[in-house]
């Protein structure tokens, strides 16, 4: 379940469908989806990294807003898995989240990979410390 995606309780706005990752780079994911319906004013794309729940220093991604059914989420960390979903916004409110997609960004340069390994080791340490304290 997408923890950042909060749809309206009434459910009057139709949910976008067929969300896919169409392009991947070291620092971005491009997403495409099928329009919810013709009355959509804009879409919100929500993404967050799923790698490490105890590593709050790793970057998370906020909201990308677009009027099209394609969006690129930039500023992501190389070699990191993200989960994304899309909501539709209309005069009726915000829809529920689309089906989530998960995808990893591509590996970065050697220095970025070393930083990622360091973050992973730190995360494992924090996880063990949390579980055994």
Contacts of 54 (CB under 8 A, 6+ apart): 123, 126, 127, 130
Give domain status of residue 93, yes or no. yes
What local confidence, expressed as pLDDT, does residue 129 receive? 73
Containing H/E element for 120?
Answer: helix 110-131
Give domain status of residue 87, yes or no. yes
Containing H/E element for 24?
Answer: strand 17-24
Give domain status of residue 97, yes or no. yes
Reply yes or no on whether the pLDDT at 50 is more than 70.
Answer: yes
By residue range, what is the domain housing residue 21?
Answer: 17-131
Give domain status of residue 73, yes or no. yes
Look up residue 89 and give its DSSP letter: E
> 94: closest CA among 2, 14, 39, 17?
14
Tally the domains of the chain.
Answer: 1
Instruction: Evaluate whether 30 touches 70 at the Cβ level (below 8 Å).
Output: yes
Instruction: Evaluate whether 121 touches 87 at the Cβ level (below 8 Å).
Output: no
- CATH number where 59 lies: 2.60.40.10
What local confidence, expressed as pLDDT, does residue 62 receive? 62
Taking only the tens place, the pLDDT of each residue in 14-46 is 899 999 999 999 989 999 999 867 789 999 998
What local confidence, expressed as pLDDT, does residue 83 receive? 87
Containing H/E element for 90?
Answer: strand 81-90
Give domain status of residue 10, yes or no. no
Give domain status of residue 7, yes or no. no
What local confidence, expressed as pLDDT, does residue 99 receive? 92
Q: Is 18 left (phi over 0), alpha (psi -120 to 50) or beta?
A: left
Give domain status of residue 100, yes or no. yes
Q: How far apart are CA 29 and CA 44, in angstroms?
A: 15
Taking only the tens place, the pLDDT of each residue in 82-122 is 888 999 999 889 999 899 899 998 887 665 566 667 777 87
Look up residue 91 and give its DSSP letter: T
Give domain status of residue 8, yes or no. no
């Amino acid at each position: 379940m997408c923890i950042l995606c909060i749809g309206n309780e009434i459910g009057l706005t139709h949910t976008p469908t067929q969300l896919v990752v169409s392009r991947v780079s070291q620092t971005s994911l491009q997403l495409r989806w099928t329009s919810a319906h013709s009355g959509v004013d804009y879409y919100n794309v929500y993404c967050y990294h799923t790698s490490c729940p105890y590593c709050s220093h790793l970057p998370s991604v906020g909201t990308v807003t677009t009027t099209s059914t394609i969006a690129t989420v930039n500023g992501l960390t190389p070699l990191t898995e993200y989960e994304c979903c899309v909501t539709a916004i209309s005069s009726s409110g915000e829809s529920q989240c689309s089906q989530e997609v998960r995808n990893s960004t591509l590996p970065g340069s050697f220095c970025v990979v070393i930083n990622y390994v360091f973050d992973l080791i730190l995360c494992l340490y924090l996880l063990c410390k949390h579980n055994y304290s």
